[in-house]
C-alpha cells in the first residue's frame, strides 16, 4: 500500500514471485468511471473507491488459503478495514513510503499510467499511514525490499 508511484506493482510482482503466489494489481480492478475521473485530474471520493475496494476484498478472501499479493493504495484506515474484512489469517500490510519530491518525480516519468502527477498531492493529503505492518522506504531496491519483508515477516522459502 501507498500513494501512486511508490512502487506497489513492481514490489508486488517481485514479492509474489519470491513467495510463489499470485499477484493482483489493484489498478486493474478500477471501474472505468474511476479511471476516467483520475485521467481528467479529479481525485476519487470514498464513494468512488468503495466498489473497487469491495472487489479487492473479494480477491483477498478467495485467496486467503493459498495466499496472494494485492497492490492497492489503501490510503485510509477505513479502506484497509474494508480490504481485510473477512480475511482472518496471514494478512500482512506492507506500507511503501517516500517524500512528495521523490514520488512526484517518479509519477511524472510514467507515460502509460492513468494517474497524473497532479493528483499525487491529494493522495498525500488523504494518506493515513498505518502504525502497523512492515514499512518500506521507496529508496530501497526491489531486492532489498523483498529481503526486508522476508526478514521482518519471518518468511522462509
Average pLDDT of the segment spanning 10-20: 97
63-99 confidence digits (pLDDT tens) = 999 999 999 999 999 999 999 999 988 899 999 999 9
Q: What is the pLDDT of residue 90?
A: 82
Whole-number Å distance between alpha carbons of 51 and 97: 25
pLDDT higher than threshold 60 for residue 18: yes
Whole-number Å distance between alpha carbons of 83 and 140: 26
pLDDT higher than threshold 80 for residue 129: yes
pLDDT higher than threshold 70 for residue 128: yes
Among candidate residues 26, 20, 10, the one with its CA nearest the CA of residue 60: 26
Specify whether the CB–CB gap between 88 and 96 falls below 8 A: no
Confidence band for 146, pLDDT divided at 50, 70 and 90: very high
Integer CA distances (angstroms), 67 to 26, 46, 116, 117, in order? 16, 27, 31, 32
Average pLDDT of the segment spanning 121-147: 95
Average pLDDT of the segment spanning 140-147: 98
* Residue 125 φ then ψ, to 5°: -70, -30
CA within 13 Å, CB half, 102? 12
CA within 13 Å, CB half, 17? 10
The x, y and z cell numbers of residue 82, run together, are: 474494508
pLDDT higher than threshold 80 for residue 124: yes
Instruction: For the chain, give the percent of residues with pLDDT over 90.
Output: 71
Specify whether the CB–CB gap between 56 and 33 falls below 8 A: no
pLDDT higher than threshold 90 for residue 42: no
Domains of the chain: 8-151 (3.40.50.300)
DSSP state at residue 5 = T
pLDDT higher than threshold 80 for residue 113: no
Helix 142-152, helix 8-19: angle, nearest 10 = 60
Amino acid at each position: 500500500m501507498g500513494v501512486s508511484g511508490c512502487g506497489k506493482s513492481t514490489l508486488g510482482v517481485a514479492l509474489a514471485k519470491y513467495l510463489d503466489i499470485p499477484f493482483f494489481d489493484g489498478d486493474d480492478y478500477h471501474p472505468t468511471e474511476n479511471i476516467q475521473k483520475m485521467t481528467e485530474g479529479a481525485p476519487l471520493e470514498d464513494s468512488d473507491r468503495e466498489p473497487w475496494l469491495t472487489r479487492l476484498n473479494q480477491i483477498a478472501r478467495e485467496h486467503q488459503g493459498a495466499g496472494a499479493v494485492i497492490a492497492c493504495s489503501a490510503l485510509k484506515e477505513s479502506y484497509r478495514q474494508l480490504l481485510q474484512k473477512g480475511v482472518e489469517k496471514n494478512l500482512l500490510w506492507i506500507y511503501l513510503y517516500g517524500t512528495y519530491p521523490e514520488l512526484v518525480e517518479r509519477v511524472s516519468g510514467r507515460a502509460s499510467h492513468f494517474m497524473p502527477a497532479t493528483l499525487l498531492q491529494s493522495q498525500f493529503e488523504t494518506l493515513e499511514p498505518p502504525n502497523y505492518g512492515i514499512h518500506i522506504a521507496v529508496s530501497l531496491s526491489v531486492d532489498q525490499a523483498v529481503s526486508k519483508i522476508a526478514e521482518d515477516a519471518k518468511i522462509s522459502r
